[in-house]
Amino acid sequence: MTARRFLLQGRVQGVGFRYFACTQAERLGVRGWVRNLPDGNVEIHAETDPEILDEFSRLIRSGPRMAHVVDMSTAVVPEEGHKYFVVKR
């Protein structure tokens, strides 16, 4: 089990990105959260097996149809022990 923080920049707010990330996370069994940041970026905390996180990373880099991710940074972070994946408001 590992945890990663993703920070996505580009056209990632107002395009359903958080709900896209939540759907993909639930489908893959990823736990954690996603939230919009005041600066227009999206932050994701994701926990699961490293191989699944690699797939999740690939999916969120593409994003939903109307999104355009121009940059995505990733960092290994401590696990928070989430049981589900949620959209934070």
| Catalytic residue check, 58 | no
Q: Is 18 a catalytic residue?
A: yes
* Cα–Cα distances in angstroms (integers) from residue 21 to residues 8, 77, 82, in the given order: 11, 18, 16
Rounded Cα–Cα distance for residues 78 and 4 (Å) = 8
Catalytic residue among 5, 35, 36, 61: 36
Environment class of residue 71 by beta-carbon count within 10 Å: exposed (0-12), middle (13-18) or buried (19+)? exposed
- Residues annotated as catalytic are 18, 36
